Amino acid sequence: MILPVVAYGDPVLKKEAEDIEKDSPELQKLIEDMWETMYNAEGVGLAAPQIGKSLRLFLVDASPFEEEEPSLKGFKKVFINPIIVEEEGEEWAFNEGCLSIPGVREDVNRLPKITIEYYDEKWNLIEEQYDGLAARIIQHEYDHIEGILFTDHLAPLKRTLLKKRLNNVSKGNVSVNYRMKFPKK
C-alpha cells in the first residue's frame, strides 16, 4: 500500500524516533508499504517518520546511483534500530534532496565514512562500515530518525533564503507526482 509522504513542517519529522520491539506484529507489513511508497516516489531511501511513524526504521535502495558508483549495485537494505557508532574522515559536500521536501536540493557537508550497527528484517544484529555515497544515503536517512532534516545542516543564511520555499512545501504549494500529507494545507 502506498502511504502519503509527510511534508516539511510536520512535527513528526522533528521528533527523535522510538526503537521498534522485536515481535512487533505490524513490522513486516510496514516495511512492505515503505518499499512501495519509496519506489512510487522514485526515492533512494525512506525513513519511518516520513510516513508518519516515529520509529527507528529506514530503508535504502541505491541502485539508481549504480552507474556513477558501481559498488552500489544491489545495495538494498532495511535498517532497524540503527546506531551510527562512528563517523570519520574529512567533510565532503553532496547535493541532497528529500522526498519530504520536494523541489529543494542543496549541498550538505558530511563525513565520508561511517560504522553502523542495526538489525536487518530477520533481526540479525549487524555491524558494517560504509563510505562514499552509501554512507551519505544512510546518514541522510539516519538523520530522519533523529528528527533532523538535511536543511538543518545548512548555514543560517542559506536557510533564511529557503524559508519561503520551505513554507510553500508545508502548505502544499509544490508540484509533486506522489501522494503527500501537508501540515499547513
Q: Are 45 and 58 within 8 A, CB to CB?
A: yes
Nearer to Ni ion, 96 or 118 (CB): 96
Nearest residue to Ni ion by CB is 98
The C-alpha cell at 98 is 528529500
The answer to whether 17 contacts Ni ion (rule: CB under 5 A) is no
CB contact at 8 A, 23 and 157: no
Binding to Ni ion in span 87-106, by CB under 5 A: 98
Question: What Rg do the C-alpha atoms of the chain give, in angstroms?
Answer: 16
Minimum distance, C-beta of residue 122 to Ni ion, in the bound complex (Å) = 25
Is residue 141 annotated as a catalytic residue, yes or no?
yes
Q: Which residues of 146-162 are buried (b: 16+ CB within 10 A; e: fewer)?
A: ebbbbbebbeeeeeeeb
Give the contact letters, 18-57, x = binds to Ni ion (CB under 5 A), - = no.
Answer: ----------------------------------------
**Binding residue count for Ni ion, defined by CB under 5 A:** 1
Phi, psi of 7 (to 5 degrees): -90, 160
CB of 180 to Ni ion, least distance (A): 13
Angle at 114 between CA 141 and CA 108, to 5 degrees: 55
CB of 167 to Ni ion, least distance (A): 18
- Interacting residues toward Ni ion by CB under 5 A: 98
